Each structure stands twice: as structure tokens, then as C-alpha cells.
Structure 1
Amino acid sequence: MYRQHIDSAPGRFRVEVRTVGASEVLTPVGELDHHTAELLRAPLDRALDEGRSRLVLDCSRLDFCDSTGLNVLLGARLRADAAGGGVHLAGMRPVVARVFEITGADAVFTVHDSLEAALPD
């Protein structure tokens, strides 16, 4: 099943959403910070509210993530785990991966080198 939904902050940030098998794949594009975090929180919450608890974030187009963005992802992880699912991060660029390493958040997410590796066969 494929579904496309885009939320946007003009020229700054958007989230592409689609369903691939049992996974809800979200692709944040741009800078995830305190100004744009709600644009990611909304589709994460929507997916979880609709019973999709296996969330995959394709981070290959994410240019930046601050602590507010990280908190949105941590909140989604707690909800997904409670529902028997999880949050998988894929294709993180070095600048984004560094935020997760510094904070230790990389230890609480399942991290994959690529989107393909994050999707079950």
C-alpha cells in the first residue's frame, strides 16, 4: 500500500509519508528544530493513532535535528514501543547521527544504514 501526504513549512521542512507493507515510512526533508517539530509530530501521532506502530524514518534527506526534534522522536518511540512496535531510523547523515550519538539516543532506537535495510522483507 502506498500513501503520500506532505506537510510543509514553505522552503524549510516537510514530511513525506507512505505505507510500505507493515511499516509507516516518514521522510523528513530539511531542518527539524523547535520551529518545525510539530510538522513531524503530527504525522507520527496520526500513524500511531491509526494503529500503525512500526515507524521507519528515512533520515537521508534530514539536514539538521535539534533537541526538540529528538524529543518528538523519543515520544513516538515510547508510544510505538507501548503498542508493540518501534521506531527505526534509516540513512542518517553524519550531522544528524552526531546529535543522536552525543545524547546517547542512538542506543534507544533501531538504526539502519539505509531505508532498504530498515524495511522487513
Structure 2
Amino acid sequence: MVTPAGELDHHTADLLREPLEEAVSQGRARLVVDCSQLEFCDSTGLNVLLGARLKAEAAGGGVHLVAMRPVVARVFQITGAEAVFTVHDSLESALAD
């Protein structure tokens, strides 16, 4: 599980990309991203999550997003990306799924 905080944009995207790619390379195909502390996500951040999803799915898993704030969820709704992720209201739900 990773918990990005603050803004996820072109300045900070690698701070999330690297641990997600490392997790998949270590055999963890089911990735849980706790978005409860994420205040902003731009297209670069979205692309990091989409890229992680492709790698996780290729390994037989997926990316589960948890507790997105409305401003972050809106980016996923506008782009249609919410349809390709499993989104959970709570961390407990994501971990139990």
C-alpha cells in the first residue's frame, strides 16, 4: 500500500511511480493506493496510476484506489478513468476485497 499526500503532478509523479513499479517488480500485483491525503491530481499523476494499473494487470492483479477526495475523484470522473480502477470508500474495504 502507498499513501501519496499533497499534490500528485509533474513535479511529484516519480515519487509515486517508483514505489508502484518496485512493488510490481517484487511480485506484488495487487496495489492499494490510499488517496485520503491526496489534495490534487493532474494528468501526469493520472498517467502514473494508469501505467501502474497496466503493469499490475499484466501481472494478474490491479490497482485499488481508496478514499478519494471529491476534487481528486472529479479528475477520474471527467477522464473516465474511474471505470478502469477499483475504487473503495475505505481502506478496510480495499484490504478485504
Normalised by the size of structure 1, how large is the TM-score? 0.79
Question: Counterpart amino acid of 2:69?
Answer: R
Residue 120 of structure 1, CA deviation:
1.9
Question: Does structure 1 residue 101 correspond to structure 2 residue 74?
Answer: no
1:29 is matched with 5
List alignment gaps of at least 5 residues for structure 1. Answer: 1-24
2:31 is matched with 55
Query: Going by fraction, where is strand more abundant, 1 or 2?
Result: 1
1:8 is matched with none
1:40 is matched with 16
Residue in structure 2 matching 1:92, options 68, 71, 87:
68
Q: How many percent identity over aligned positions?
A: 77
Deviations 1:10-58 (A, max 9, x none): xxxxxxxxxxxxxxx1100110000000110000011011000110000
Task: Determine the C-alpha separation between the residues in 1 that align with 2:37 and 2:81.
Answer: 19
List alignment gaps of at least 5 residues for structure 2. Answer: none
3-state SS, counterpart of residue 88 of structure 1: strand
RMSD of Structure 2 on Structure 1 (CA): 0.8
Question: Counterpart amino acid of 2:47?
Answer: N
Task: Determine the C-alpha separation between the residues in 1 that align with 2:46 and 2:92.
Answer: 23
1:18 is matched with none
The runs of at least 4 aligned residues of structure 1 exceeding 4 Å deviation read none
Query: Going by fraction, where is helix more abundant, 1 or 2?
Result: 2
Normalised by the size of structure 2, how large is the TM-score? 0.98
3-state SS, counterpart of residue 102 of structure 1: helix
1:119 is matched with 95
